[in-house]
Each structure stands twice: as structure tokens, then as C-alpha cells.
Amino acid sequence: MVQTPVQQLSEILSSVAGSSVLVLLQGHPDPDAIASALAHQRICLSFGVEATIAHVLPVSHRENRALIKVLGIELRQVSAASDLADFQYLSLVDAVACDGSIELPSTLQLLTVVDHHRSSVRPQARFVDVRTDYGSTCTMYAEYLQGGLSPLTGTVREDARVATALLFGIQTDTDDFSLASVVDFTAAAYLRGFADTDALRRIGRRMISADAMDVVGRALGNLTVARDFALAGVGHIAVGHRDAIAQAADYIVAREDLDTAIVFGIVGDRIDGSLRTNSPSVDPSALLESAFGTDSSGRPYGGGRADKGGFQIPLGVLAEGSDKAAVWRIAEEVVRMRLSKAIPELAKVFEKAKG
């Protein structure tokens, strides 16, 4: 008989009772990953498996920090293989592979992988559940709970914490449910009954940090508008503030007469850009790929989904230039030139400006 994921996962976790699992979040941890890790930790605990949630890159978005703070979620920041020596098993949530930001001890075995992203990677783990038709990994964890793995009962405080985090994860990963499918709504309805709506409101309150506001200001001061398209370069941005670029694009695309905005800057050793669009006819990944093409291994510099996209272009040795203003001028010129090819109206505006 074919086992359900819930049966498989319980069997595997039972078999490693008493061991220590590392849930290593990839990239800058987002709510879907953080909340899924929290649910994973809860499920592990119910089988006598101790799970520690860790991350390498900082939690950089204000909302994500609010999620951690309001719900008191414990995350351990790790930076070296020696920090991971105590763990026997590795669990990945919202990712199928490690991004290489930390060297893993060779003794660490990949135990579980739960994700909803499309990927060509076939993870070698004892438990693999990847569902690309799901709007979030949190949806999958909500189903595990509802399906009998450490189900929510509403009798302990911990239930509200997990339900609130999962609900927030579904909400943010589906862009406030605009990209949600039936399974996401069903999971949200299940979680809603256990969630702390007051905490959810506090976490979700859209706030903008002082640094992000500074970046928005720079974007507005350097805005080029071509019909309903806007482009803004914001110069060098500290690595910890890279989310400000996306926030600036969100802010600008809200302008009534615009339907697409691209904001870009230099973050570390690369050009980093965000695209936001309300236009039904703009396909972010097609637009960014036609403008920026692919790298030497055929990977596009940019990608996206229905209403948002992003691009990262390594500066290579240029990044070492000591004249930061000059490096920025080159980067800005290249981005303007490439986008002008894909958007003829933009080319006209730049030509006019040159006089």
C-alpha cells in the first residue's frame, strides 16, 4: 500500500527519535521558511526529535523580524561548519538544496525536504515532499498538522504561535492570497481558528524602515518615466538593506499613472534590481530575460512571476573599483541601455534627455 506523506514522515521521525535535527533556512529567511521551520520543529518534538532552527544570512526584512519577535521564535545564526557539529540530521523547508553559504559537516545527513518551488534538483533525502501547485510550504505543513502530525487543538499557547506563523507564511508567500490556490485557502481556513489575530495584525502592519525610506527618496529623485513605465537607479546599497530596493519598487508602482516600475542599485558585488507591475500585458521574466539575457552557463540574470521580478548581475572585477561613483555610473548606463532595448519608449526618453 502506498503511504501518505503524513505516514511516511511519522515513520521516519519515529526512527530517529532522540537525535538532533538542524533546520537550516536558506538565503535571507522569509516568513514561509521561518513558519514552516517552526511547524517542523513542533512535529519533530512530538516524535522526541529535537530540532534547532538556524540561518546563515541575516533576517533582513522588517516584517520578518517582527514575526520572530512577536511570536518569540528562536533562530540560531550560524557561520561555520563547527557550529553544526552537534547535529546528526538536516531538514530543509521551502528549499530543496543548500545554497552553499555555509560548509556542512560531512556527517550531517539530509533527512527531510519539504518545498513548493519548481526545481530540477532531486534531493537525496529519506523524506521528500515537493508540491509545485502549492502557494507556500506553510500550506503543506498545515496539511501535515491537520492530517494528524501533532494536530492543533487550541488548548495550548503553542498552538496559536504555530498557527499564526503558518497563516502569515501563507499570506506573504501568496501575496496576500492573490496567488493562493484552493489548498492554500483550505489551509488558511484551518489555521484561522487557532491563530492569534491580534498578533497577526501587529506582524503584518506594513512599516518601512528609515533606510528603506532613504532608498525610496533616492528612487523618486532619480526617476525616469516613459509612458506607464518607471525606472530608478538608487546607487550603492548596503547588503543588509537590499530589501529596500524591492520596497522602493512597491512604492513607485503604486503611482496612479504607472503600471510597471524597476528600481535597481549596487548591492555588494552585483547589480540588484526589482520589478513590480500591475500590467496584464507585462511578463516580468520575459521582459527581464529579453533585456539582460543569460550568463555564460545559460542562466537568465532575471526572473519573476505574474506581477514581480528581479535581476542580479555580477559586476565581476569592476566591483573592486575604488571610485564607487564611477562604478555606479557604468552600472546605471548598462542597465539603462539594456532596458532601452526591451522597452522602446524608454530609449526615446533617454535619447531626448541627451538632447
- Report whether 32 contacts 136 (CB < 8 A): yes
Which of residues 27 and 105 has its CB atom nearest to Mn ion in the complex? 27
From the CB of 133, what's the least distance to Mn ion, in Å? 13
Binding mask 215-254 for Mn ion (x = CB under 5 A): ----------------------------------------
Nearest residue to 190 (alpha-carbon basis) of 135, 149, 153, 137: 153
Cβ-in-10-Å burial (0-12, 13-18, 19+) of 97 comes to middle
Q: Give the CB-side neighbour count of residue 91, counting CA atoms within 13 A.
A: 30
184 scored as a contact of Mn ion (CB under 5 A): no
* In the block, residue with C-alpha cell 525610506: 213
Q: Identify which range of 66-74, 168-176, 259-267, 292-300 contacts Mn ion by CB under 5 A.
A: 168-176
H or E segment to which residue 162 belongs = helix 157-173
Q: Identify which range of 20-28, 40-48, 137-145, 160-168 contacts Mn ion by CB under 5 A.
A: 137-145
Residue nearest Mn ion (C-beta atom):
32
Please list the helix, strand and coil fractions of the chain in percent, rounded to the nearest 5, in that order.
45, 20, 35
- With CB under 5 A as the contact rule, the residue among 16, 44, 90, 94 that binds Mn ion is 94
From the CB of 134, what's the least distance to Mn ion, in Å? 9
Which of residues 140 and 327 has its CB atom nearest to Mn ion in the complex? 140
Which of residues 32 and 332 has its CB atom nearest to Mn ion in the complex? 32
- What does the angle CA 317 – CA 322 – CA 326 come to, to the nearest 5 degrees? 85
Which of residues 61 and 218 has its CB atom nearest to Mn ion in the complex? 61
Q: How many residues bind Mn ion (CB under 5 A)?
A: 4
What SS3 state is found at 128?
Answer: strand
d(CA 136, CA 115): 8
Strand partners, 224: 231
- With CB under 5 A as the contact rule, the residue among 173, 196, 243, 250 that binds Mn ion is 173
From the CB of 11, what's the least distance to Mn ion, in Å? 26
From the CB of 280, what's the least distance to Mn ion, in Å? 24
32 scored as a contact of Mn ion (CB under 5 A): yes
From the CB of 295, what's the least distance to Mn ion, in Å? 24
Nearest residue to 90 (alpha-carbon basis) of 149, 19, 34: 19
Which of residues 177 and 350 has its CB atom nearest to Mn ion in the complex? 177
From the CB of 136, what's the least distance to Mn ion, in Å? 5
From the CB of 118, what's the least distance to Mn ion, in Å? 11
Compute φ and ψ for 124, nearest 5 degrees: -95, 85
d(CA 67, CA 37): 13
Q: Identify which range of 28-36, 186-194, 226-234, 324-332 contacts Mn ion by CB under 5 A.
A: 28-36
Binding site for Mn ion (CB under 5 A): 32, 94, 137, 173
